[in-house]
Chain A
């Protein structure tokens, strides 16, 4: 099962773009990359997912490298409410007990 590596913490100035990297060098061809975030004491919240192409929704953009070994989540204009732990997850294959591996993520602090 593909695992991910993320920096433990990052800071970002309010109003600037937050770029959160994720390494998933062992990802297989049919595995999607998912991003979630968890604001303190709340349940994880789905942000975005992708397979090969870059994706954008109302919350964020996801850039996946051509070799799919890494990706970057972009919050285009970070606000204080974006302070959270961000998890990059590669979906485990079917028929395993662990459908998602949530690591320890990146703790993003948006600074006023």
Chain B
């Protein structure tokens, strides 16, 4: 998985509790992404980061926040988890987003399966 570690791999939590998912990379790539995957929707971008402390919203950012204090770590936080946030969450990394071609390839982690009861 291209030096990407997601933790935890599985989590069950209750509605209203805060949850933080961690993505750790060893590739020193500048760009990091959080996606969620749900049946019938494919992968949808939640947030992405283009550097330390630099983040931006994706397609489905409501209810999520992110932080990146170090190049290698990108955290996704659900401040108050809801059942609609039950999903599989994937982290991805890439060298660039502005150049087309090889440096724009995204490499994905193994995913975190989150259940909100």
Residues of A within 8 A of B (CB): 30-32, 34, 41-46, 49, 51, 87, 91, 94, 97-100, 102-105
Count how many chain B residues have C-beta atoms less than 8 Å from C-beta atoms of the other chain.
Answer: 31
Contact A94 B45 (CB under 8 A): no
Q: B48 at interface (Cβ–Cβ under 8 A)?
A: yes
Main secondary structure of the interface of A (DSSP, over half): loop
Contact B33 A99 (CB under 8 A): yes
How far in angstroms is the closest Cβ of chain A from B51? 15
Contact B98 A44 (CB under 8 A): no
Contact B58 A97 (CB under 8 A): yes
Contact B107 A91 (CB under 8 A): no
From 94 to 117 in chain B, residues with beta carbon under 8 angstroms from any chain A beta carbon are: 94, 97-98, 100-102, 104-111
Max chain A CB contacts within 10 Å: which of B4, B59, B100? Answer: B100
